[in-house]
Structure 1
Amino acid sequence: MHELSIALGIVDIAEKETKKAKKHKVDLIELEIGTLAGIEFDSLDFVWPSAVKNTVLENAVKKVNIIQGEAKCGDCNTIFKLNNIYDSCPNCNSFLKGIIKGKELLVKSLEVS
C-alpha cells in the first residue's frame, strides 16, 4: 500500500511550507490527483487519518481534485479520455498515444493559520 508513503510525503510538504510561512497549522489542503497516477483513492482516504495524526494537517480539510486522464493519438491526432493507461484510441484503435493529463499528483494549495 504505497498510499501511506504518499500521504506521509504530503504531510512532509505541508509541514515544510507551514514552517516557511511561520504558521502552526493547515486549515485546508487542496490536492490534484490524476486518474492515471496509480493512486487508489479509497486507500488514500483510509490511511489519511493515521498519516496526519499529530501533524499540521491533523485538523485540516482535505480537498481532492480528480484529474481525468486524457491522451492524444499518435496516429490520427484524436484527443480522447483515458480511463486506463493501456486504452486504445476510440477513433482508429491505435495504442500509440501521448498522455496529456491524468498523471498529476501534487499539492495545489494550503491555507495556513
Structure 2
Amino acid sequence: LIAHFHVNWLSPVKIRKTLVGGSRKMLVWNDLEQEETLKIYDKGVDIKTQKGVYDLLAEYRMGDMISPNIPHVEALKMEVDYFAECIKNSQNPHNDARAGFEVVRLLEASDRSLESNGAQIRLD
C-alpha cells in the first residue's frame, strides 16, 4: 500500500479528495463534487521508481472514465442514524472503540514514517 496524505489547515480552498490506485483501475472520490462524486479510471498503477510516482500524478486522467450515479447523503447524518439504529437494536457498531484504535495506529505509523523521511513502516 502506498499512501499520501496532504493536510493544510491554512489553505483557503476546501479539498476533500481521495485517490486510490490499483493494478488495473484508479478511483477518485471527491466529497465536494455534487454531480460526479466518484470517478473510476481505466488506468492501473505500476510504480517502480520515485520518478514513476510523479509521472503517475500527472497522468492519472488518461484512459476511459466512468462515474456511477451515487446518491448524495450527508455523512454525519448517516453516522447518527446508524448509531441510533445500533442503540435501538442492541447491536455493536462497526465503528466502535476497536476501529478507532486501528485508525489511531495507522495515523501514528504515518507520523513515524514522516519522522523517518518517508520510510516504510510495518504494521504487524
Same fold (TM over 0.5): no
Give the structure with the larger strand fraction: 1
TM-score category (smaller protein): under 0.3
What is the TM-score when the length of structure 1 is the normalising length? 0.26
Specify which structure has the bigger relative contact order, considering alpha-carbon pairs within 8 angstroms and separated by 6 or more residues: 1
What is the TM-score when the length of structure 2 is the normalising length? 0.24
Give the structure with the larger helix fraction: 2
